[in-house]
Amino acid sequence: MTLLELRDVAKTFGDTIALSPTSLAIAEGSFVAIVGPSGCGKSTMFNVIAGLLTPDGGDVLVKGERVNGTTGHVGYMLQKDLLVPWRTVEDNITMAKRLTGRVSAADREEARAVARQYGLGDFLRHYPTALSGGMRQRVAFMRTLVTHQTLLLLDEPFGALDAQTRLEMQQWLLQVWRDTGRTVLFITHDVDESIFLSDRVIVMSPRPGRVVADFANPLPRPRTVDTLIEPAFIDLKTKVMRLLHREDA
């Protein structure tokens, strides 16, 4: 079943075509990676889907409903964790509820359960400044999870982490995704990351921002570090790299 659909969605800033008319359908429960260099319109596309930007043309549909320029229908996470320093880990996880209604005892219990399940149970009463970058991103992701949105938009969430931590976080994300069955749209400029995580790799290109390829990812799950050296991985990586490189030439 299609959860998210873009129909000829376009966005222009002044003379710059940030996103030329783009159509896309994302199946519920899938993990789709969007890879491309900076300026290819991937973040613009995200902000249009999230409702922060209104498209100049076309429609954004979530579960068949037109949501152009409205918010409240996605979970959303950026490279910046955006944890607020004045709230504890537990209170950061429940932030969405606090901003839209009342944080109930059940919400708090859920936050604690999620944190315990994913290894942050001992840090519930800590302020975010006490946490490492990887831990902060995990808290940010938990905050996104408890919004109970089926569609999660992740914009380079691990971009600021060191390679070791990033690999751990990627495996952790796959585990959470498997546990919760959400639909993930994952932006990255790291080709390895896009292939390692996804069911499907969408390649975008700048000037004007557009989709240039849409690959099904044949790699079996679960994925491990060994996945990174499988022939199918290398094969897909080669295709994506050629597309990205052609643009540079």
Partner 1 sequence: MTRKILRNVGVPILSFVLLLLVWQWVVVGFHVASYIAPRPRQAFLAVTQNWSALWPLILGTIRETVYGFFVGAALGLGLGVIMAKVPVLQRIVYPVLVLSQAVPIIALAAPLVLILGFSVTPKVVIVAWIVFFPVTVNVLDGLTHVDKDLLNLARVYGASRWRTFIHIEIPATATPLFSGLKIGATYAVTGAIIGELAASDGASLALYQEHANANLNTAAVYGTTMVMTAIGITWFLLVVGVEVFATPWQRRTVARRWRRR
Binding site for partner 1 (CB under 8 A): 47, 50-52, 71-72, 74, 76, 78, 80, 82, 84-88, 91, 95-96, 98-100, 103, 125-127, 129-130, 147
Judged by phi (left if over 0) then psi (alpha if -120 to 50, else beta), residue 53 lies in: beta
CB nearer to partner 1: give 34 or 152.
Answer: 152
Q: Which amino acid is at 37?
A: P
Residue in the structure block whose two tokens are 């940030």 = 18
CB nearer to partner 1: give 155 or 193.
Answer: 155
- Residue 179 Cβ vs partner 1, minimum distance, rounded to whole Å: 22
- Residue 206 Cβ vs partner 1, minimum distance, rounded to whole Å: 22
- Residue 56 Cβ vs partner 1, minimum distance, rounded to whole Å: 19
- Residue 100 Cβ vs partner 1, minimum distance, rounded to whole Å: 6
CA distance 184 to 196: 14
Quick check: helix, strand or coil at residue 58? strand
Q: Which amino acid is at 76?
A: Y
CB nearer to partner 1: give 74 or 161.
Answer: 74
Quick check: helix, strand or coil at residue 43? helix
Residue in the structure block whose two tokens are 């320093």 = 85
Residue in the structure block whose two tokens are 């808290």 = 139
Q: Which amino acid is at 236?
A: L
CA distance 243 to 240: 5
- Residue 140 Cβ vs partner 1, minimum distance, rounded to whole Å: 10
- Residue 99 Cβ vs partner 1, minimum distance, rounded to whole Å: 4
Q: Tokens for 65?
A: 């409903």
- Contact present, 124 and 115 (Cβ < 8 Å): yes
CB nearer to partner 1: give 51 or 195.
Answer: 51
**Which H or E run contains 105?**
helix 105-117
CB nearer to partner 1: give 20 or 147.
Answer: 147
CB nearer to partner 1: give 26 or 83.
Answer: 83
